[in-house]
Amino acid sequence: MSNKIVTNDKIKQGLKKRRRSESRFRAIGIASISVGLIFIAILFISVTSKGYNAFTQTMIQIDVFFDPDVLDPNGSNKLESIARGDYRAVIRQTLFNTFKDVSSRRDKRQLYKILSSGAQFQIRDTALKNLGVIGTTIPVWVTASDDVDMMIKGVVDRKAQPRVRRLSEKQMGWIRTLELKGKVERQFNTTFFFGGDSREPELAGIAVALVGTILSILICLAFAVPFGVMAAVYLEEFAPKNRWTTLLEININNLAAVPSIVFGLLGLSVLLNVFELPRSSPLVGGMVLALMTLPTIIITGRSALMAVPPSIREAALAIGASRVQTVFHHVLPLAMPGVLTGTIIGSARALGETAPLLMIGMVAFIVDIPNSLTAPATALPIQVFLWADQPERAFGERTAAAILVLLIFTCLMNLAAVFLRRKFETRW
């Protein structure tokens, strides 16, 4: 009887010890997840707090007199002639008419610097859209300089020293005068989303990088998905199990862990130097990303095919289907949710890659939006890299905003993968 009591006590002690171990393990797991979520929250908060200002831009309204003697001295009233007009002189004269007390050459240069260098092109676009404005005076909103923009947004303290805010006392006075007249506003920054790269931060946009990224990802999917799925089907369903297929499987698994810059060097040496494809183009970028994504699609595709129960194959073969019909009519459709999930996850990884694109020249300064697969382009990660290296402080918020856009794209792709899996997944 005493032995039985001792045994029960040992069992109870063992159960208590096991429960304590499980509780510790659960607490460690919850703590790890919490720490990860905290770091993710810190990342998003940091990027958002620095980048949301880039979605607005300080604009200044000026009453522009479209002087026909300056813009169309020949009186031809043709687009070609008006497009070649001296809009810089028009802006200067407008500012001097607004602030008539400005007389010295130095003050005039300072006055002109409160506007962006792209203001003259905004005035030109206004004239070209409506030739009837020639000879009239109309109010036009133009972009302020990056230093004025930083001050209006509160990034730079108005009371800071002139060398810190980069604006003189006279410039501050002119800006206050415009503010009192209601001619200084923060408006939605369409240039950031629809403009190309620029050396002036207030004129810089992500349109070229965004289009280049989309084209590169489409090329990546066009190459990687068919070859990846077919390779997965062959290896899992048709390939004989011997030393060669085993060696091939090992190499595919190893390729999934190869640093991405190696694929960039491969694209540089083969696609550019051997096949002489156009440098810095979405075509080459997409092909390099496809090489990098291919192992991921093959591995996830094989796992999805392996998850299909053998009874599906046996039932199809039992009713007279051939092996090819069994795989492509029954097994592969059931495995497609897993294949799509792997494809989207691989594409999301390719979306954020920088090193392979650097190797093929997509780091170039591109202003015009690419109109073909072989036109020069860049990508969002490259744009972030370029802006982060710029000395102008206004590029800091542009960099954070571009990172925010890239994170949103990545999150959307991962959410799409989760949605597709849950919507089409078959539970056995």
Check: CB of residue 376 under 8 Å from CB of residue 370: yes
End-to-end CA distance of the chain: 50
The CATH number corresponding to 207-424 among 3.20.20.450, 1.10.3720.10, 1.10.730.10, 3.40.980.10 equals: 1.10.3720.10
**What's the pLDDT score for residue 239?**
87
428: pLDDT strictly greater than 70: no
177: pLDDT strictly greater than 60: yes
Rounded to an integer, what distance in angstroms lies between the CA atom of residue 188 and that of residue 56?
A: 4
**What's the pLDDT score for residue 298?**
92
Kind plus residue range of the DSSP H or E element containing 293: helix 282-307
**What's the pLDDT score for residue 395?**
92
Q: What SS3 class is residue 193?
A: helix
3: pLDDT strictly greater than 70: no
- Map out the domains of the chain as residue ranges: 2-52, 55-196, 207-424
Of 294, 408, 407, nearest to 346 (Cα)?
294
pLDDT tier for residue 399 given thresholds of 50, 70 and 90: very high
- Looking at per-residue pLDDT, the higher value among 362 and 424 belongs to 362
Half-sphere exposure of residue 350: CA atoms within 13 angstroms, side-chain side: 33
135: pLDDT strictly greater than 90: no
Q: Which ranges of 99-206 does DSSP label H, i.e. alpha helix?
A: 105-112, 119-129, 146-152, 162-165, 169-180, 190-194
Q: Stretch 226-245: mean pLDDT, rounded?
A: 90
**What's the pLDDT score for residue 5?**
59
Read off the DSSP letter of residue 288: H
1: pLDDT strictly greater than 60: no
Check: CB of residue 170 under 8 Å from CB of residue 107: yes
Q: What is the mean pLDDT of the chain?
A: 88
Rounded to an integer, what distance in angstroms lies between the CA atom of residue 194 and that of residue 204?
A: 9
pLDDT tier for residue 337 given thresholds of 50, 70 and 90: confident
- Looking at per-residue pLDDT, the higher value among 226 and 5 belongs to 226
Q: What SS3 class is residue 65?
A: strand
pTM score of the predicted model:
0.85
Check: CB of residue 206 under 8 Å from CB of residue 405: yes
Check: CB of residue 213 under 8 Å from CB of residue 260: no
pLDDT, tens only, 63-119: 999 988 888 888 777 888 888 888 999 999 998 888 888 888 898 899 999 999 899
Of 418, 406, 386, nearest to 44 (Cα)?
406
pLDDT tier for residue 307 given thresholds of 50, 70 and 90: confident
Check: CB of residue 379 under 8 Å from CB of residue 209: yes
Kind plus residue range of the DSSP H or E element containing 187: strand 184-188
Of 262, 272, 292, 291, nearest to 374 (Cα)?
272
Kind plus residue range of the DSSP H or E element containing 142: strand 137-143
Rounded to an integer, what distance in angstroms lies between the CA atom of residue 201 and that of residue 395?
A: 6
Residue 259: how many CB atoms within 10 A of its CB?
11
